[in-house]
Amino acid sequence: MNEKSNKPSLLISFGGNALNVVDQDHAHQNEEFVIARKSMAQVVELLKSGYQKMILTHGNGPQVGQIFLQQELTRNEFPRQVTLDVCVADSQGRIGYILQNVFDNICQEQGVSKRSSAIITQVLVDEMDPAFKKPTKPIGVFYSSQDAEKLKRERNWQMGEDAGRGFRRLVASPKPLEVIEKELFAQLLQRGYVAIGGGGGGIPVIRNSEGNLVGVEAVIDKDHTSALLANELEVDQLVILTGVEYVYLNFNSSSPKPLRQVYAGDMEKYLLAGEFAEGSMKPKIEAALKFLNNGGKKAIIADLFNLQLALEGKTGTHISVN
Q: Name the β-bridge partners of 213.
A: 207
Any domain includes 1: no
| Residue-level pLDDT at 224 | 97
Q: Which of 100-104, 170-174, 278-282 has the lowest mean pLDDT?
A: 278-282
| Residue-level pLDDT at 267 | 98
Chain centroid to CA 194: how far? Answer: 17
Any domain includes 230: yes
Q: Name the β-bridge partners of 170.
A: 138, 158
Range of the domain at 240: 10-119+177-320
Any domain includes 198: yes
Q: Which amino acid is at 199?
A: G
**138 pLDDT more than 90:** no
Any domain includes 144: no
Does 222 participate in catalysis according to the annotation?
yes
CA distance 41 to 38: 5
- What pLDDT, in 10s, does the model give residues 199-238? 999 999 999 999 999 999 899 999 999 999 999 999 999 9
| Residue-level pLDDT at 22 | 57
- How many folded domains does the chain comprise? 1
| Catalytic one of 53, 114, 137, 290 | 137
Does 2 participate in catalysis according to the annotation?
no
pTM of the shown model: 0.90
Q: What is the mean pLDDT of residues 264-287?
A: 93
Any domain includes 101: yes
| Residue-level pLDDT at 101 | 97
- Rg of the chain in Å (alpha carbons): 20
Does 101 participate in catalysis according to the annotation?
no
Does 17 participate in catalysis according to the annotation?
yes
| Catalytic one of 114, 284, 290, 298 | 284
Any domain includes 271: yes
| Catalytic one of 16, 200, 201, 296 | 16
Q: Mean pLDDT over all residues of the chain? A: 90
Band (pLDDT 50/70/90 cuts) for residue 322 is: confident
Any domain includes 142: no
Any domain includes 2: no
Give 18's DSSP letter: G
**128 pLDDT more than 90:** yes
**3 pLDDT more than 60:** no
Sign of the C-alpha dihedral computed for residues 245, 246, 251 and 253 taken in this order: negative
| Catalytic one of 7, 53, 182, 222 | 222
**1 pLDDT more than 50:** no
Does 284 participate in catalysis according to the annotation?
yes
User: In percent, how much of the chain has pLDDT > 90?
Assistant: 70
| Comparison of pLDDT for 53 and 23, the residue scoring more | 53
| Domain CATH for 45 | 3.40.1160.10
What backbone phi and psi angles, to 5 degrees, belong to 194?
-90, 120
196: Cβ contacts below 8 Å, ≥ 6 apart:
55, 56, 57, 58, 96, 99, 100, 103, 116, 117, 118, 119
**164 pLDDT more than 80:** no
Q: Which of 37-41, 74-78, 278-282, 316-320 has the lowest mean pLDDT?
A: 74-78
